[in-house]
Structure 1
Amino acid sequence: MEKKSWLKIIVINLVIALSLVTITEIIIRVVAARSNVFNINIGAAMDFHPTRGTQLKANYKAEGISINSYGILGPEIELKPNPSGIRILTIGDSTSFHPQSRNYSRVLEDKLKEFFPGHNIEVIVGAVPGYNSYKALDWYKEFLYKLNPDITIIYIGWNDILSIHPFNKTELFRQNIKTRSFLQKLYVVRLPYYFMREYERKKVADLSPLSAEERNTINHFYPYHYSNNLKIMIEKLKNQGSVVYLITLPGLITYNPTNDELKRMYYGVGMNNKLALYKAVYNKYHKVLEEVATSTNTPTIDLREIIKSPEQREIFTDTMHFNIAGSEVFGNYIANYLKADLNKMIIRKR
């Protein structure tokens, strides 16, 4: 009898716990559907992918977010490009994805259509929050190559900088299993990570110089993976006939951040909010980006040129993400950079 009572208590507690989790899950989903910022931060628009960990949910719709049937942010597209039109693909991470209602790709498309009225110009956003160069290359090999873009703009590297460096002692690439796939579908599981990131952002920046040990570690560090991934992607795109452009990595870390900018920044895993460490890793990656551009003869659109003053950097909401005003600034700058080359391309297609 006593055993049955204990069993009954356990069952009741499990039912209560499951009910609470279910109710919490429903509440989070309702909030996520109404707030696009919260939605993206907890990954509500994301789904499991066996090799990349995550991908955008096909046909997902919520406030300010519309993902098409191919799992791409934006309207429906035809896989086969219009032979008389110009198709531009922007490959990237959250800096290309946000602000999702009007990211730089949308501004770029509008501006180019303004430059060349009557011409069929489309810009496809091949960007997913959280993607690094490994994941971007994997997505290209799996699907993006099917789009056959005339022009490809590659703006990737921030997630490499934040996690793939010698000061990150955590496992960089965990094996994807069915359990992980199931857990990633639960919003209630994702929520703690959202608050953990917010907590990390509130930590005070460490402005001390690099120690001798840190400097030695940095001197012996070279992000070969980043170089290789970019080179492979560029080579494959060019072999398809796409004209490729690289974009530099502009952000609050690019120059000397002000006190106000330091409060907006967040740091990579294992950097312990140390500015000198972050800057050293950032500089290593940027040097590789420049080396790849030179060795592959790929033109670089240097957005760092237009964020030199604190006033110009007010467009940044954190270390590297920018607001709609930033989308306008970057989108217009890129459009003007491409204008002459696009004109030649349009003439050739006549």
Structure 2
Amino acid sequence: MPNRIGSIFAEKPNVGQSSTFVQFEQLYFCDCCAKRLHSELKVFQFLRDRCDGTWRTSRVNRLAKRKKKLIFAGLAALIGLLGGMLLLEIGLRIYVASRGWTPNCYVTGVAFFVPHEQAGHTMRPGLRMKSSAYDVTINSLGLRGEEIDVQKPDNGIRVMVMGGSSVFGYLVPDGQDSCCVLEEVMSKDERYGDSKVQVLNAGVPGYNMTQCRLRYESDLSKLNPDVVLMYLGWNDMKYLLQDPDSVDRTPPAPSLWTRTMATSVLYGVLRYRVFPPDSPVFVPPVSSSSNDEDLRTECETQFRNDLQSLVEAVRNSGALPVLSTQLMAAGASDPQLKRYLGDGAEQIEANERLGLWITQVIREEAERSHVPLIDVADKIECDSTHLGDAIHLTQFGHREVAICWAEGLSDALIKMEDGTPEQSGEKTELRREKESE
């Protein structure tokens, strides 16, 4: 009997159907041929399945090998890149060391600051920075200068100077800032007799009056200064035309990532030399250019309150507060200095009025609070020999300001010892109470 193999067909068109449809006529074979064909088909199907499986397996293997090669190539490139960066870092460290610089010489202000719980940020204790532009040492207490004992020397007079970068000494090396010069001048003054005069530089670049107060209350008052001289106001100028509730008066330190990266010389070169940020501007933003009439009452009140709060914090600690006006380009007749006040004539004029307003408020607050005033702005001529920009003193300027401070402080200290002014009597009583605790 013939057998039918259902998998073998011959095409034959079906009449009346579309040519796209075909009817398959089944082929018939004898039993012997059918069995043989069955066997061959099974072998064919087996080989086909094996071939499909092998192909899939080989494709997976090829993809896996390619993936391994890509991973290996990526790792090799990464290792090469890291190795190259390491060699560059070592080379740059050797270079800066040969120049007598420190590894943080390129990152400047980023290396200065660490977080502070109350004030937002403060000086990095133990910082050492030296470059072509900087020669800065910060002691373990976060003060610029050499190490000091927390305990005040016996028979000593401790003077603390608070403010921003003008006090810190932004443009001068160690030993040339106003505080160092003030200590030198006062130590030679015979009016102090055998008393050891110690002047502490508590300036922090960028600090406003609120930050000065918060840092003083949390950290600096523990040093028991006899006198706290406040040379400030400029850094609060930018708040005069902004809503007091919308500004952050305690800005944070740079992020942990930035501070960590700042330890790398290579990072400093790339970030601050190859791709430098915008140059710092020491004047209020362009939006602050307006007439005095635009100074809102709440901004003026806030400025006065901040100053009064700082004076009261110093007085409550038992120290004698002393205010000083600042030498700033706002009072300059030199057109080269005035150009630091803004980009155009209108902004320069507006910012000059703001600076003069700040100076006058400091004078008024000193009189209102019965606080000794050293009127630097009135006693020293504002020119390019004293200022390097809108607010920062030159080396000569630091010396002249220190001499002016020394004259004013000698009068205040003598009156304090005599107990003649009202505030001196208060100070002496507070100091006695504090020392008896």
State whether structure 2 residue 372 is matched by structure 1 residue 315: no
State whether structure 2 residue 170 is matched by structure 1 residue 103: no
State whether structure 2 residue 435 is matched by structure 1 residue 333: no
CA contact (8 A) 1:87 1:121 kept: yes
Structure 1 match to 2:127: 60
Aligned-pair identity in percent equals 20
In the superposition, relative to structure 1, how do residues 314 and 347 fare at CA in structure 2: closer, same or farther (>3 Å)?
Answer: same
> Cα offset for 1:35?
7.4
Alignment of structure 1 residues 149-164 onto 2, 5 Å: 149-161=225-237, 163-164=238-239
SS in structure 1 opposite 2:299? coil
> Cα offset for 1:138?
1.2
State whether structure 2 residue 268 is matched by structure 1 residue 191: no
Structure 1 match to 2:348: 275
> Cα offset for 1:267?
5.1
CA contact (8 A) 1:266 1:318 kept: no
> Cα offset for 1:306?
3.2
Letter of the 1:160 partner, please give it: D
Alignment of structure 1 residues 71-220 onto 2, 5 Å: 71-98=142-169, 99=172, 100-116=174-190, 117-161=193-237, 163-166=238-241, 172=248, 176=252, 180-187=255-262, 188=267, 191=272, 195-198=276-279, 214=291, 216-218=293-295
> Cα offset for 1:298?
1.2
CA contact (8 A) 1:223 1:285 kept: no
Structure 2 match to 1:299: 372
In the superposition, relative to structure 1, how do residues 267 and 47 fare at CA in structure 2: closer, same or farther (>3 Å)?
Answer: farther
Alignment of structure 1 residues 225-304 onto 2, 5 Å: 225-258=302-335, 260-263=336-339, 265=340, 274-304=347-377
- CA-to-aligned-CA distance 1:209-243 (integer Å, 9 cap, x gap): x66xx554335563433322322221122223322
CA contact (8 A) 1:223 1:288 kept: no
Give 5+ residue unaligned stretches, structure 2.
1-62, 420-427, 429-437
Letter of the 1:109 partner, please give it: E
SS in structure 1 opposite 2:331? coil
- Taking the aligned partners of 1:24 and 1:171, their CA distance within structure 2 comes to 42
CA contact (8 A) 1:223 1:284 kept: no
> Cα offset for 1:249?
1.9
In the superposition, relative to structure 1, how do residues 61 and 217 fare at CA in structure 2: closer, same or farther (>3 Å)?
Answer: same
> Cα offset for 1:9?
6.2
CA contact (8 A) 1:92 1:128 kept: yes
- Taking the aligned partners of 1:300 and 1:274, their CA distance within structure 2 comes to 30
Structure ranking higher on relative contact order (CA contacts 8 Å, 6+ apart): 1
- Taking the aligned partners of 1:36 and 1:314, their CA distance within structure 2 comes to 32
SS in structure 2 opposite 1:326? helix
SS in structure 2 opposite 1:317? coil
In the superposition, relative to structure 1, how do residues 9 and 101 fare at CA in structure 2: closer, same or farther (>3 Å)?
Answer: farther
Letter of the 1:191 partner, please give it: Y
In the superposition, relative to structure 1, how do residues 147 and 13 fare at CA in structure 2: closer, same or farther (>3 Å)?
Answer: same
In the superposition, relative to structure 1, how do residues 256 and 3 fare at CA in structure 2: closer, same or farther (>3 Å)?
Answer: farther
Letter of the 2:315 partner, please give it: K
- Taking the aligned partners of 1:25 and 1:164, their CA distance within structure 2 comes to 41
- Taking the aligned partners of 1:33 and 1:266, their CA distance within structure 2 comes to 35
SS in structure 2 opposite 1:198? coil
- Taking the aligned partners of 1:297 and 1:194, their CA distance within structure 2 comes to 51
- Taking the aligned partners of 2:200 and 2:144, their CA distance within structure 1 comes to 8
In the superposition, relative to structure 1, how do residues 291 and 347 fare at CA in structure 2: closer, same or farther (>3 Å)?
Answer: closer
TM-score by length of 2: 0.64
TM-score by length of 1: 0.77
> Cα offset for 1:254?
1.9
Give 5+ residue unaligned stretches, structure 1.
none
In the superposition, relative to structure 1, how do residues 242 and 290 fare at CA in structure 2: closer, same or farther (>3 Å)?
Answer: same
- Taking the aligned partners of 2:300 and 2:71, their CA distance within structure 1 comes to 56
- Taking the aligned partners of 1:74 and 1:111, their CA distance within structure 2 comes to 17
Q: Please identify, of 5-14 and 290-299, the stretch whose mean Cα deviation from structure 2 is larger.
A: 5-14
CA contact (8 A) 2:211 2:250 kept: no
CA contact (8 A) 1:69 1:76 kept: yes
Letter of the 1:293 partner, please give it: A
- CA-to-aligned-CA distance 1:77-136 (integer Å, 9 cap, x gap): 222223522111111111011134311111111111111353211111111112111211
Structure 2 match to 1:46: 113
Letter of the 1:102 partner, please give it: Q
Number of corresponding residues: 335
